[in-house]
């Protein structure tokens, strides 16, 4: 017999999907509830659902009620749901405002709005168990994920990311709609905020693009390209390998920002990418170890 938390999460997920927002079931840890069907394969899979089986995280997200019910039936332990961000046509952005570990994302967003001359719009708002909140906004195009890049306590959930939906229960507690916001339309993100959330500019090319490139410059460009070409499930490993090679070649300090930027373009958060590159700077044993993606 279905558990009450599972039933409530499914019901809430169906209501959210009816607003045109694709959803997936989540476990109590806020991770996708269905494990990858490729987990026992000898090599990392780049499959994003083309195999037809569930278990591809945010790529399973759907607005189809029958599909959603099937996903929840495959994960009877699910007690929550995630809402995929960045999907056309709405390109949902989830502003995750934390109020813990010394940060106050709510106050930081208010200060950011005052400094850059925009108003925080009224929109659907979700209260988190830690006392923070999620603001749902739309955008005309995709926005990348980032962690504390706008300000301490403000994380952006965009392309390839998801936010925990209201009605979910996690190990930390329940996510609830803020009173009076349930019927709000999804507000467009202010243009000033979109500019702040845009990807960092790419690494500048050499001044004379026609001149022969120094071998170290070619090596640096190849390492950045190696990171940019990575897919979900291998991003941390490729980033760590590239960072190790950069530090081995004496390019680590100079190349680290470009490697982090490249990793953010692939979908990693800025915080996780920076931590991976920093770990490569530490002394290593005889073989390289990679950190699994979270």
Domain regions of the chain by residue span? 1-84, 86-161+171-198, 199-294
CB atoms under 10 Å from CB of 79, counted, come to 25
Q: According to CATH, what is the number of the domain 86-161+171-198? A: 3.30.2250
Q: Are 224 and 203 in contact (CB under 8 A)?
A: yes
**Highest averaged pLDDT of the listed ranges 6-15, 141-150, 283-292:** 6-15
Give the Cα separation of 154 and 252 in Å (integer). 28
pLDDT at 210: 54
Q: Are 146 and 273 in contact (CB under 8 A)?
A: no
Q: Is the pLDDT of residue 74 over 80?
A: yes
Tokens of 267: 């979908």
Our measurement of the distance from residue 281's CA atom to the centroid of its chain's CA atoms, rounded to an integer in Å, reads: 25
Give the Cα separation of 215 and 205 in Å (integer). 14
Q: What is the pLDDT of residues 251-270, one digit of tens each?
A: 888 888 888 888 888 888 88
**Which of 161, 158, 108 is closest to 133 using CA atoms?**
108
Q: What is the pLDDT of residues 227-241, one digit of tens each?
A: 888 777 778 888 888
Q: Is the pLDDT of residue 285 over 60?
A: no
pLDDT at 209: 52
Mean pLDDT of 132-159: 92
Q: Is the pLDDT of residue 224 over 70?
A: yes
Percentage with pLDDT > 90 across the chain: 52
**Which of 68, 231, 243, 74 is closest to 160 using CA atoms?**
231
Q: What is the pLDDT of residues 78-93, one digit of tens each?
A: 999 999 999 989 999 9
pLDDT at 290: 43
Give the Cα separation of 205 and 63 in Å (integer). 42
């Amino acid at each position: 017999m279905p558990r009450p938390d599972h039933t409530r999460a499914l019901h809430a997920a169906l209501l959210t999907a009816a607003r045109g927002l694709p959803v997936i079931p989540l476990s109590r840890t806020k991770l996708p509830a269905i494990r990858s069907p490729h987990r026992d394969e000898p090599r990392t899979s780049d499959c994003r659902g083309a195999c037809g089986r569930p278990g591809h995280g945010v790529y399973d997200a759907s607005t189809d009620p029958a599909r959603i019910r099937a996903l929840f039936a495959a994960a009877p332990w699910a007690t929550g749901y995630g809402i995929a961000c960045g999907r056309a046509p709405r390109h949902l952005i989830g502003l995750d405002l934390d109020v813990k570990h010394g940060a106050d994302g709510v106050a930081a967003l208010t200060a950011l709005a005052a400094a850059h001359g925009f108003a925080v719009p009224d929109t659907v708002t979700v209260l988190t168990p830690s006392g923070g909140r999620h603001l749902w906004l739309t955008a005309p195009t995709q926005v990348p994920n980032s962690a504390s890049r706008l300000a301490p306590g403000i994380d952006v959930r965009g392309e390839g990311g998801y936010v925990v939906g209201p009605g979910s229960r996690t190990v930390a507690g329940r996510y609830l709609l803020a009173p009076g916001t349930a019927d709000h339309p999804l507000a467009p993100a202010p243009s000033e905020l979109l500019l702040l959330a845009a990807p960092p500019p790419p690494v500048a090319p050499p001044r004379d693009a026609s001149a022969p490139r120094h071998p170290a410059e070619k090596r640096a460009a190849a390492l950045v390209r190696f990171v940019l070409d990575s897919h979900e499930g291998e991003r941390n490993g490729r980033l760590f390998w590239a960072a190790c090679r950069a530090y081995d070649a004496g390019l680590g300090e100079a190349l680290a920002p470009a490697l982090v930027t490249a990793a953010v373009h692939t979908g990693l958060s800025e915080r996780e990418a920076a931590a991976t590159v920093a770990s490569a700077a530490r002394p290593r044993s005889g073989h390289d170890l990679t950190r699994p993606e979270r």
